[in-house]
Amino acid sequence: MAKSASKNSKVKDTKAAADAKNWTKVIRTSRSPKTGAYTFKESIVYKDKVKDFLAN
């Protein structure tokens, strides 16, 4: 018989879950001048800093 998951493993930390909603994954593309290929820079940024990340 398979083991059933305990209820304790399904309980989430509500404060951490609420704080996680304030972060955003941002992907910026840039083109290499040498080869012409696209490169991607991924970062997880606080939601208020997204415009600053994309501006640089």
Give residue 12's pLDDT band: very low, low, confident or very high (50, 70, 90): low
Number of domains in the chain: 1
Q: What are phi and psi of 24, to 5 degrees?
A: -135, 140
User: Is residue 13 in some structural domain?
Assistant: no
Burial class (CB in 10 A: 0-12, 13-18, 19+), 52: exposed
Burial class (CB in 10 A: 0-12, 13-18, 19+), 26: middle
Per-residue pLDDT tens over the stretch 21-32? 899 999 999 998
User: Is residue 51 in some structural domain?
Assistant: yes
What's this model's pTM, rounded to 2 decimal places? Answer: 0.57
Range of the domain at 49: 22-56
- DSSP, res 33: T
Whether residue 43 has pLDDT greater than 80: yes
The larger pLDDT score, comparing residue 10 to residue 13, is at 13
User: Is residue 52 in some structural domain?
Assistant: yes
User: Is residue 2 in some structural domain?
Assistant: no
Average model confidence (pLDDT) across the chain:
84
Helix boundaries (H) for 1-56:
7-10, 14-20, 50-55
